[in-house]
């Protein structure tokens, strides 16, 4: 895989760090997660392909151990606020929350992953590593570059919910169907809008101009009345295979069963972890190969990892005795 041979230390944290580490592991990196002794038995939801090393970083011996490991890895992934790591071993209608896809995973994890890969590539030319400072706020702002740029062309002059791309336009929003489902409409371009009107069974010459914003509220009501007369499945039969930019809003189960996703193999099934998206993007020569093994327990690989990094058995036994590290070997169930 593309990152085969890259060694990563991931210090335990919340969503952004673990997802970044999982992406790197999916594409072949050897990822060791450094957990706190006494933490819960498993690593949570984003531990695919990782191993667990349990170390007490608040103790001087634990901090020393971490520095020794860092000297042998390519990437250190840490989730702390700025400056924390360097101290280790020393003294109207409310807006809807946009899930945590933007901050945690888009502006956080993926931007951080991009920075790591760019730094690794630069190292092949300069021979030097560097610090990647990935801020979720700045990463999310960068993802929203289009919004900032489009302020200059008037796309966001109206109150929230009344602009073309935030639900204000009748041709760029969602509608409830007769069976309680929803259809999503995104027919901005005139040729797509024309097909939308045709599919709805409306007459173009009886409608106001598409871009007449003063008519949008009334048009949304009219479109909503039409969509409410048929089920989601009926609307799919009407719009499937057209360029009207009208698609069903799918449930989780429907997403995995959708013909497009099934044809591309966009989701993978695991008997223990259920269904999850296949790693993206798909590389032609070195595609990701996500681990099918169960997620590790905290401290399951402590001894194994330290041996790989050159720690003697005497050192490991002493660290265990001093409660600097924690070893949790899996016992067979007979």
The one-digit pLDDT tens for each residue of the chain (334 residues) are 888 899 999 998 877 888 888 889 988 899 999 999 987 655 567 888 899 999 999 999 999 999 999 999 999 988 877 666 666 655 456 666 667 888 888 989 999 999 999 999 999 989 999 999 989 999 898 888 888 888 888 888 998 889 999 999 999 999 999 999 999 999 999 999 999 999 999 999 999 999 999 999 999 999 999 999 999 999 999 999 999 999 999 998 899 999 999 999 999 887 766 888 999 898 889 999 888 888 888 999 999 999 999 999 999 999 999 999 999 887 655 5
How many other CB atoms are there within 10 angstroms of residue 290's CB atom? Answer: 19
Last residue of a domain, one of 194, 225, 248: 248
**Are 302 and 187 part of one and the same domain?**
no
Count of structural domains, the chain:
2
**Are 11 and 129 part of one and the same domain?**
yes
**Are 14 and 77 part of one and the same domain?**
yes
Question: What are the DSSP calls for 15-29, one per residue?
Answer: THHHHHHHHHHHTT-
| CA 249/CA 181 separation, integer angstroms | 7
Tell me whether residue 133 is one of the annotated catalytic residues. Answer: no
| CA 143/CA 102 separation, integer angstroms | 8
**Are 205 and 298 part of one and the same domain?**
no
Judge whether 42 lies within some domain: yes
Q: What is the CATH number of the domain that holds 206?
A: 3.30.1540.10
**Are 16 and 84 part of one and the same domain?**
yes
Active-site position among 35, 56, 104, 295: 104
**Are 14 and 110 part of one and the same domain?**
yes
**Are 209 and 308 part of one and the same domain?**
no
**Domain residues for 120?**
7-94+97-134+292-326
Q: What is the CATH number of the domain that holds 103?
A: 3.40.50.10540
Name the residue with tokens 């690989």: 301
| CA 134/CA 132 separation, integer angstroms | 6
Checking phi first, is residue 115 left (phi over 0); if not, alpha (psi -120 to 50) or beta? alpha
Q: List helix spans (H) across the chain.
A: 16-26, 60-70, 111-126, 136-143, 145-150, 190-200, 216-227, 232-239, 252-257, 259-264, 302-308, 313-321
């Amino acid at each position: 895989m593309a990152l085969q041979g890259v060694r990563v230390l991931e210090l335990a944290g919340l969503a952004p760090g673990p997802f970044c580490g999982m992406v790197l592991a999916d594409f072949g990196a050897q990822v060791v997660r450094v957990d706190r002794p006494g933490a819960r038995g498993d690593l949570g939801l984003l531990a695919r392909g990782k191993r667990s090393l349990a170390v007490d970083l608040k103790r001087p011996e634990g901090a020393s151990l971490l520095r020794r490991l860092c000297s042998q890895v390519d990437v250190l992934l840490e989730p702390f606020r700025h400056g924390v790591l360097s101290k280790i071993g020393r003294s109207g209608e409310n807006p809807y929350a946009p899930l945590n896809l933007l901050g945690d995973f888009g502006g956080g994890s993926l931007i951080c992953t991009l920075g790591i890969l760019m730094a690794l590539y630069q190292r092949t030319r300069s021979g030097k590593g560097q610090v990647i400072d990935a801020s979720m706020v700045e990463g999310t702002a960068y993802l929203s570059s289009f919004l900032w740029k489009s302020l200059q062309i008037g796309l966001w002059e109206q109150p929230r919910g009344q602009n073309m791309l935030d639900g204000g336009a009748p041709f760029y929003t969602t509608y409830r169907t007769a069976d309680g489902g929803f259809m999503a409409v995104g027919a901005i371009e005139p040729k797509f809008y024309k097909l939308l009107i045709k599919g709805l069974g409306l007459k173009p010459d009886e409608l106001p101009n598409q871009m007449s914003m003063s008519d949008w509220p009334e048009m949304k009501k009219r479109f909503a009345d039409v969509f409410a007369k048929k089920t989601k499945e009926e609307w799919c039969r009407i719009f499937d295979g057209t360029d009207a930019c009208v698609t069903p809003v799918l449930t989780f189960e429907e997403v995995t069963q959708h013909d497009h996703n099934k044809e591309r193999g966009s989701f993978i099934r695991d008997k223990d972890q259920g269904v999850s998206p296949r790693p993206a993007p798909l590389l032609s020569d070195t595609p990701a190969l996500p681990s099918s093994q169960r997620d590790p327990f905290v401290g399951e690989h402590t001894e194994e990892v330290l041996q790989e990094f050159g720690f003697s058995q005497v050192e490991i036994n002493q660290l265990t005795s001093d409660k600097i590290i924690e070893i949790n070997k899996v016992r067979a169930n007979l």
